């Protein structure tokens, strides 16, 4: 069973700064990796699939990269609406379909 | 578009049936029956955990190990509805349960549409 490890657990960033979030898979997941954003009291929202393809409506300041076991979500210039929790999810080796434990992006 | 119902407070060992209705308001030619469907849960203050999924025609179903034999996923494509029958509930099943739309292909993948979630609380 794959383990998805996200780092850091909490990321403190000033508005306008860049945020870099990491997701590591314990086995090769090729490019079968998605990223989600979740704000308090809301359902998750798909941001990225296929490791680097933005979902509909996702601004281009949000980008994903990586393949194999190492993945990165980058938010180039943090806006107020970007402060949230972020989860990665692999869909290469299943079942189960595994999520990372999440990264909280908070205002510095 | 996805609306869950059926949650609530239940005693340990009890049962509950969750439902998810796809209202179908979409500009896409795809319909409910085109997609894998999943249940994903989130315990209070915790992360996301996939629970179960079901193929478009119901021919394949997969479960998280900890719910195997206790939970049953099903769907009724004529009613645009997804279900989760939960039996022998445990305190650790307490969570917000989300209905999520998956892949339109042969295999399930990522989830591009989510319900608002329904709370299940297992407590004496």
The percent of residues in chain A predicted with pLDDT above 90, rounded, is 99
Contacts of B65 in chain A (CB under 8 A): 96
Q: What pLDDT band is residue A38 in, cutting at 50, 70 and 90?
A: very high
Beta carbons within 8 Å of A69's beta carbon, 6+ residues apart: A24, A25, A26, A27, A28, A29
Q: Is the pLDDT of residue A48 over 90?
A: yes
**Token pair for A102:** 């999440």
The reply to whether residue B50 touches residue A97, judged by beta carbons under 8 angstroms, is yes
CA distance A21 to A47: 13
Q: Which residues of chain B have pLDDT under 70?
A: 25-29
Strand order in the sheet with B2-5: B2-5, B16-22, B81-86, B71-76
CB contact under 8 A, B48 and A91: no
Question: CA torsion, points B52, B57, B60, B66, in degrees to nearest 10?
Answer: 20
Report the DSSP pairing between strands A103-107 and A10-13. Answer: parallel
> What's the first-to-final CA gap in chain A, in angstroms?
36
Task: Give CA–CA dist A99/B51, Å, rounded.
Answer: 11
Contact B32, B20 (CB under 8 A): no
A95 chain-B contacts, CB cut-off 8 A: 50, 62-64
Contact criterion met (CB < 8 Å) for A96 and B108: no
Q: What is the pLDDT of residue B107?
A: 87
Segment B16-47, tens digit of pLDDT:
999 999 987 655 667 899 999 999 999 999 99
Averaged over A12-36, what is the pLDDT?
A: 97
Q: Mean pLDDT score of chain A, rounded to an integer?
A: 97
A63-98 pLDDT, tens digit each: 999 999 999 999 999 999 999 999 999 999 999 999
B1 CB near a chain A CB, below 8 Å?
no
pLDDT more than 70, % of chain B: 96
Cα separation values, B83 from A46, B4, B103, Å: 22, 9, 18
Cβ contact, residue pair B111, A34, below 8 Å:
yes
């Amino acid at each position: 069973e794959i383990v998805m490890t996200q780092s850091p657990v909490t990321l403190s960033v000033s508005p306008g700064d860049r945020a870099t979030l990491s997701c590591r898979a314990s086995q090769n997941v090729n490019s079968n990796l998605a990223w989600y954003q979740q704000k308090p009291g809301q359902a998750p929202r798909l941001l990225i699939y296929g490791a680097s393809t933005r979902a509909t409506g996702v601004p281009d300041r949000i980008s994903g990269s990586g393949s194999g076991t190492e993945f990165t979500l980058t938010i180039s210039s943090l806006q107020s609406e970007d402060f949230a929790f972020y989860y990665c999810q692999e869909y290469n080796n299943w079942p189960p379909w595994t999520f990372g434990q999440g990264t909280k992006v908070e205002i510095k | 578009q996805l609306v869950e119902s059926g949650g609530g407070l239940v005693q340990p060992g009890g049962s509950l049936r969750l439902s998810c209705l796809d209202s179908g308001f979409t500009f896409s030619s795809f319909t409910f029956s085109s997609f894998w469907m999943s249940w994903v849960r989130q315990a209070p203050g915790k992360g996301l955990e996939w629970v179960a999924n079901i193929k478009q025609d119901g021919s394949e179903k997969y479960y998280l190990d900890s719910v195997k034999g206790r939970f049953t996923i099903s769907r009724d494509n004529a009613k645009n509805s997804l279900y989760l029958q939960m039996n022998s509930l445990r305190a650790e099943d307490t969570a917000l349960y989300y209905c999520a739309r998956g892949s339109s292909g042969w295999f399930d993948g990522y989830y591009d549409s989510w319900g608002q979630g329904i709370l299940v609380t297992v407590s004496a």
